[in-house]
Structure 1
Amino acid sequence: MIEAQLGRCVAAWCPGATGVTGAAKLSGGASQETWTFDIVHPDGPIGAILRRAPPGYGASPGRAAGLDAEATLMQLAHDAGLPSPRVLHVLTPEDDLGTGFIMQRVEGETIARKILRDEQFAKARPMLARQVGGIAAGIHGLDVTKLPKLRQMTSTKEIADLDREYRSFGWPRPVFELALRWLRDHDPGPSAEVTLVHGDFRHGNLIIGPDGVRAVLDWELAHLGDPMEDLGWVCVNSWRFGEIDKPVGGFGTREELFAGYEAAGRRADPERVKFWEVMGTLRWGVMCCGMMQRFRQGPDHSMERAMIGRRSSEAEIDLLRLLAPREK
């Protein structure tokens, strides 16, 4: 069914295309679908990815930028020379495929445990932290006048939003209370510079090959705000996958991250990064609690939600380590 729909769609905008083959749904994404397929073309197959909200799906969640904005941001990043897939087509109502877009398929790995352990990535790992820093600098340097309409966030608003969401569960957690108090006490206030923030810059949203980072994916949480937020988020312990002594994704140090960021012409603020790392750790813990609530209350009683929900205790341990006086 979807191959026929995709075939009709690509024939309308890809000269010479005669159909598609190998359409397969990829795992991941609670509300949006991702499909991989090949466009049949006289010059050879064209690898492509469909990212969409299925027909009939409602509006995007409040924090989401929206798929049209995602497509615009990815193309702006691609055009600026950043590792981002090229957007081939933004879906129209005539395509009958829902809301979304089709992009170039980039080959590589997104599974963190493979990236951190498999031999084929051994040469890439030592340079990833600097690479990630340079890519973050490129994202933060994109011209804000060319961006689609995005929500704007500040540290103060983020604290208030997290506090409200946490309390809505009716599930008191003393470590979360401690973290909220610490965040209020250390709120750095509005950033001197407001930039594009990717919003989910971490393992799982980076396609990595033996040569390093090949693409940044999933811009759905992009917004305007403090650029240090992205640097703090990529350092959250949950994205280290057991390599806790390497704060940046389990593959590098904060110093390497900052060096890559500054080599690309931007300045890192370690104190603000620390604040956003604490914020990110708490945010992940609250997200885990939300998963557990949905598992308990339904209608989705999937084991995946329960497994993620139980990780809120890991976030508590991470917060205690971050807030201990010996931590710098």
Structure 2
Amino acid sequence: MSTATDLAELTARVRAHLALRHPDSPIGDLKTLPGGHSGLTYSVTAGDARYVVKAVPPGQRPVGRNDVLRQARVLGALAGSAVPVPAVVASDDRQPAWFAMDFAAGEAVEPVLDAPEVPAGTARARMLEIASVLRRLHGTDIRTPGLGAPEPLDAAGELARWSRTLHAVPAELRPGGEELLTRLADALPSDGRQPVLLHGDFRLGNVLCAGERAVAVVDWEIWSVGDPRIDLGWFLLFTDHRNFPHLGRAVPGLPTEAELLDTYRDGRPPLPAMDWFRALGRMKMAAIMGHNLRRHREGKHHDPDQERLPPTIAAMIRTARDLLA
């Protein structure tokens, strides 16, 4: 948690940098932006301009999701590309590190999960729009200067990484999980794709939209390099509310998985082994939800809403097994 002293020190550092950009404008206070799940996220004004600041929590190491400068790096590499992202305007690598980016006006709403509801036609158009954005993201040159791309993860590496997460969930919270991991390992695809830039959590909930247009892809905490089907298998999960029992709601007219894949491919040949990557996406969702539920029950993060997750966790594992049958 950030103390008043920590926040005052961070505010002073941000103001000093933004004052160089806006020498004759008042710089406002940092205001917490709700909804963030990693690091600290604030908004701040400088005259008529508005920015978002992401910072490492005081006392924590800048690793993993807290490595905010890693996020700034991918945003900088994508600046001016065909992938819409906020522009990074300032950064400071002194600890705790932080960076500031343009405030992108828009809404990021996952139609089958989030409130407020989006008109069905708008939700459909947005989902098809961002399928094209994902294609352009995967077309990014991973040798782009400043990106500092990590070593690529293939299907085996991605499976190993998320298997560890699922194994950290108590067995009673992941019924059928061991069988699913065995099936995934036994059916591991051998046809690796050329590594691409991956968002890691690509979906409408992480794309700010204005009307039917995507204006900014946000939340780059877990970007990586690897098989494009990793992003696709995750993205396809969110087109059907039935994947989320007790959580999702029906949205008529959303694109089917086949429509999204056709839009993404844009005339290119079909992608093989997609059922395996669809099953992998479900396993990952079960692992994340199981982790969150475990933390709630252990008293590490009190959130009674987590008690709604068991039916969806079970459904994710069950339908993933069905895909691999």
- Asked whether the two chains share a fold, i.e. TM above 0.5, the reply is yes
Cα shift at 1:65: 8.6
What does residue 220 of structure 2 align with? 219
The alpha-carbon distance between structure 1 residues 243 and 182, as it changes in their structure 2 partners (threshold 3 A), is farther
What does residue 25 of structure 1 align with? 32
The 5 A counterparts of 1:84-233 are 84-93=85-94, 98-113=96-111, 117-119=117-119, 123-146=121-144, 147-172=147-172, 173-189=174-190, 191-233=192-234
Q: What amino acid sits opposite 2:53 in the alignment?
A: L
- The one of 9, 31, 46 aligned to 2:17: 9
TM-score for the superposition, normalised by structure 1: 0.81
Residue deviations 1:211-234 (CA, integer Å, cap 9, x gap):
322111111111111011111111
Cα shift at 1:19: 3.0
TM-score for the superposition, normalised by structure 2: 0.82
CA contact (8 A) 1:88 1:103 kept: yes
Cα shift at 1:49: 0.6
Q: What amino acid sits opposite 2:39 in the alignment?
A: Q
Separation (CA, whole Å) in 1 of partners of 2:229 and 2:116: 24
Cα shift at 1:115: 7.5
Cα RMSD of the aligned pairs, angstroms, is: 3.0
The alpha-carbon distance between structure 1 residues 227 and 283, as it changes in their structure 2 partners (threshold 3 A), is same
What SS is found at the alignment partner of 2:53?
strand
What SS is found at the alignment partner of 1:196?
strand
CA contact (8 A) 1:51 1:101 kept: yes
CA contact (8 A) 1:133 1:260 kept: yes
The alpha-carbon distance between structure 1 residues 308 and 115, as it changes in their structure 2 partners (threshold 3 A), is closer
Bigger Cα displacement from structure 2, 233-242 vs 148-157: 233-242
Cα shift at 1:70: 1.4
Separation (CA, whole Å) in 1 of partners of 2:239 and 2:313: 8
CA contact (8 A) 1:200 1:233 kept: yes
CA contact (8 A) 1:237 1:318 kept: no
The alpha-carbon distance between structure 1 residues 242 and 288, as it changes in their structure 2 partners (threshold 3 A), is closer
Bigger Cα displacement from structure 2, 178-187 vs 132-141: 178-187
What does residue 34 of structure 1 align with? 41
Q: What amino acid sits opposite 2:163 in the alignment?
A: D
Cα shift at 1:293: 2.5
Identity of aligned residues (%): 22
Separation (CA, whole Å) in 2 of partners of 1:293 and 1:286: 10
Cα shift at 1:5: 4.1
Separation (CA, whole Å) in 1 of partners of 2:135 and 2:98: 27
Residue deviations 1:227-257 (CA, integer Å, cap 9, x gap):
11111111125985635688xxx83222332
Provide the aligned length of Structure 1 versus Structure 2: 307
Residue segments in structure 2 that go unaligned for 5+ positions in a row: 1-7, 242-246
Separation (CA, whole Å) in 2 of partners of 1:222 and 1:26: 21
Separation (CA, whole Å) in 1 of partners of 2:281 and 2:115: 22
The alpha-carbon distance between structure 1 residues 174 and 293, as it changes in their structure 2 partners (threshold 3 A), is closer
Cα shift at 1:324: 3.3
- The one of 32, 54, 63 aligned to 1:60: 63
The alpha-carbon distance between structure 1 residues 144 and 5, as it changes in their structure 2 partners (threshold 3 A), is closer
Higher relative contact order (CA 8 A, sep 6+): 2
Separation (CA, whole Å) in 1 of partners of 2:270 and 2:26: 48
Cα shift at 1:176: 1.4
Q: What amino acid sits opposite 1:155 in the alignment?
A: A
Separation (CA, whole Å) in 2 of partners of 1:238 and 1:29: 23
Separation (CA, whole Å) in 2 of partners of 1:228 and 1:77: 20
Separation (CA, whole Å) in 2 of partners of 1:311 and 1:87: 36
Residue segments in structure 1 that go unaligned for 5+ positions in a row: none
Q: What amino acid sits opposite 2:248 in the alignment?
A: G
Separation (CA, whole Å) in 2 of partners of 1:205 and 1:317: 23
Separation (CA, whole Å) in 1 of partners of 2:270 and 2:115: 26
What does residue 82 of structure 2 align with? 81
The alpha-carbon distance between structure 1 residues 294 and 242, as it changes in their structure 2 partners (threshold 3 A), is closer
Cα shift at 1:193: 0.7
2:321 is aligned with 1:320: no
Q: What amino acid sits opposite 2:319 in the alignment?
A: R
Cα shift at 1:54: 2.6
Separation (CA, whole Å) in 1 of partners of 2:322 and 2:103: 44
Separation (CA, whole Å) in 1 of partners of 2:309 and 2:151: 29
2:248 is aligned with 1:242: yes
Separation (CA, whole Å) in 1 of partners of 2:320 and 2:294: 26
What SS is found at the alignment partner of 2:19?
helix
